[in-house]
Amino acid sequence: MVALKTTVAVILSALFAAGSALADICVQDDSGANVCLSKPAQRIIALSPGATELVYAAGGGDQLVAAVSYCDYPEAAKALPRVGSYNRFDQEAILAQKPDLLIAWIEGNPREQLAKLKSLGLTIYYTQLNDFDDVSSSLERLGKLAGSETQAKLAADKFRAGIAELEDRYSQSAPVTVFQQIWSNPLMTVNNEHIISEATRICGGVNVFGNLPNLSARIDNEAVLAADPEAIIAGGMGEENRDWLDEWLRFSGLTAVRRNNLFFIPPSTIQRPTPRLLEGTTLLCQHLETARGRR
């Protein structure tokens, strides 16, 4: 009897050991590397405003211990300790938090600082979100690392369903030519590769500068006058500042100005690749529908 009990115990503990080894959590990040944790991350640092939003949306907000400047959404993010700005970290402040997972941003974070942190043994998940699919898959992957898969799955499904609904409803409507202004002085727009243009397509819009070679480009007023878009969409400095749009009023020959199709979208809902893109895209679709009604 005793022997049997011991045997069972040995087998069980062996199974348990095997089970926990298998339970290593691994996901592929946007650099193509495998990021593995032995248990869900307990101390996460997000190194860009977008990464912060994604971690909260994926249900890992409770495990976030620090973020960088301008991490302003959701409200709870404003209270997090800061470890510098997205383009320059305070490496000491990062190490002092003893993080078990860093969420980095390939394009925006300084490579040499990340390389240093990696050499000091920190685990880094690299993000680079280029389209709507990346948003939902990032939510799922981050949820897995943070041990909040259920909530992350819900958020990802909600985002996918919301976008699919907009696409069903608007993508085949009569096309509206759109100028997407992402900056003023210098005047800047984006090409078709950009996530903003994906939102435009879903809403049945056509980016008039979609064929430019670079992802984002500086252009001049004359190019906009020549393209004569039916609608102009802009953000601004701040979440409700229409100054950039008002500058177009002096060009009364523009179709967009004649029909009053100058639309504002809060920049953080359309320029940051996070689940809030659903809000921004919904707003964009409504604006383009308004433009169709003014023909």
Which residues of this chain interact with other proteins, rule CB under 8 A? Answer: 69, 82-85, 87-93, 95-96, 98, 107-108, 110-113, 115-116, 120, 183, 188, 214-216, 218
Q: Are 28 and 140 in contact (CB under 8 A)?
A: no
Closer to other proteins by CB, 89 or 132: give it.
89
User: Shortest approach of other proteins to residue 49 CB, angstroms?
Assistant: 13
Q: Does a cis peptide bond (omega within 30 degrees of 0) precede residue 81? A: no
Closer to other proteins by CB, 75 or 92: give it.
92
Closer to other proteins by CB, 13 or 81: give it.
81
User: Shortest approach of other proteins to residue 293 CB, angstroms?
Assistant: 35
Closer to other proteins by CB, 194 or 287: give it.
194
Closer to other proteins by CB, 116 or 295: give it.
116
Closer to other proteins by CB, 84 or 280: give it.
84
